[in-house]
Amino acid sequence: MNCIGVLTSGGDAPGMNAAIRAVTRSAIFEGWKVYGIHRGWAGLISEELEEFTTNSVSNIIQRGGTILKTARCDEFRTEEGRTKAFEVLKKYDVDALVVIGGDGSLSGAYQLATEHDIPVIGIPGTIDNDLYGTDKTIGYDTALNTIVECVDKIRDTATSHDRIFFVEVMGRDAGFLAQNSAIAAGAEAAIIPEENTELDQLADFIGRGIRKSKNSSIVIVSEKDGGAMHYAERVKKEYPQYDVRVSILGHLQRGGKPSAADRILASRMGVAAVRALKEGQRNVMIGSIQDRIINLPICRAIKEDKVMENDVLHCLTILSL
C-alpha cells in the first residue's frame, strides 16, 4: 500500500471532517500518500484529486459539513461511470479507497470493488443512523441533539397556546432520529417508518387521549410520505377541535459543530479504516458495537436492516401518558 484516496459522498453529516482528518493523518503516519477527492463520486470521475498533507486537515475537526464537499452522482450508478472512476484511480496510482457516507455511497463503493480490482473501506457517515453493523453512524448524535434543542423551543409555544405540533425530522426510511428525539425531548408520540401503518400510529396517538390529560402535544414525524404536513391536515379534518401546527426542521438538522461523541467516533473509525487496509482487509465497513471498533463486510452493512430495539419503541408509549 503506497497511496490511498478518501472521499465523502451522499448527504453531509457533522463529524465527516474528523473522519477525513483521521484517515489522512493515519495514512501519513504509515508513510502513505493520500489524495483528498472532492465532491464524492462525481469528483472522482472528473479527476478532482488533491494531494493531502497533515496541514490540509488542520483546524477542521470542529467544523460541520465536509471540507471535501459531497455530491450525488447519477453517472456512478452506471457501470461505465464506475469504470471511468476506476481508471482515474489507476491513473493516480491509488491503491485503495476510503468512502465516508451513507447506505447509497457504500452501495456504490461495493459495486466499484466487485467490478474492479480496488479495495474499499467504508466509514458510516450519515445523520440517519440507518446502517447495519454499527450502533451509531457519524453525524447522528449531533443531529439528534440539534433536533432536541429545537423541539424544546417549540414546546414553549405549544404549551403557551395549547397546540398540537407535528414536527418533521429527517429519516425517510429509518425512524431513529424521530423516535429517539421524541424520547429525549419528552414528546408525546413519534410516527416512524418502522412501526405499523400510518392509520395505526395516528389513531393510537389520538386514542390515548393525549389532549384529555395534557393541554399541548408534540408529535415527531419522520419525513416519509408527506411527513408532518400530511398528518396535520388529517387531524385538522378529522378532529377540528384541535389547534394544530407544523414545523419542518429541514436542513438545519444536518449542520453545526459536531458533538464530542461524533468527533471521537469519526476519529476512531478513520484510524481503524487505515489499520484495516494495513492488515490487508478489503471491502469492509468500520462499525462501532458497544464501544468496540469492528469491521464487517460492506455487503452485510448495506443489505441487512438495522433493527430498532423494542424497549426504545415502548419507552415513548409509557412515558408519554
C-alpha cell at 197: 401503518
Residue 72 sits in the site that holds ligand ATP (CB under 6 A):
yes
Which are the catalytic amino acids?
128
C-alpha cell at 116: 474492479
Member of 4, 7, 9, 119 binding ligand ATP (CB under 6 A): 9
Among positions 33-52, residues that touch ligand ATP (CB under 6 A) are 41
Residue 76 sits in the site that holds ligand ATP (CB under 6 A):
yes
- Cβ-proximal residue to ligand ATP, closest one: 104
Dist. CA 192–CA 194, nearest whole Å: 6
Member of 4, 5, 11, 164 binding ligand ATP (CB under 6 A): 11
Binding segment for ligand ATP among 48-56, 99-107, 239-247, 289-297 (CB under 6 A)? 99-107
- Classify residue 137 by burial, with Cβ atoms within 10 Å: 0-12, 13-18, 19+: buried
Task: Yes or no: say if 45 and 75 are a contact pair by the CB < 8 Å rule.
Answer: yes
C-alpha cell at 138: 457519524
Residue 10 sits in the site that holds ligand ATP (CB under 6 A):
yes
Strand partners, 247: 167
B/e letters for 230-257, b = 16+ CB within 10 Å, e = fewer, are: bbbebbeeeeeebebebbebeeebbebe
Among positions 107-146, residues that touch ligand ATP (CB under 6 A) are 107-108, 111, 126, 128
Residue 15 sits in the site that holds ligand ATP (CB under 6 A):
no
Residue 175 sits in the site that holds ligand ATP (CB under 6 A):
no
Nearest approach in angstroms of CB 272 to ligand ATP is 19
Nearest to 86 by CA among 43, 116, 114: 116
Nearer to ligand ATP, 105 or 179 (CB): 105
C-alpha cell at 212: 384529555
Nearest approach in angstroms of CB 243 to ligand ATP is 34
Dist. CA 224–CA 103, nearest whole Å: 17
Q: Which residues bind ligand ATP (CB under 6 A)?
A: 9-11, 41, 72-73, 76-77, 101-105, 107-108, 111, 126, 128
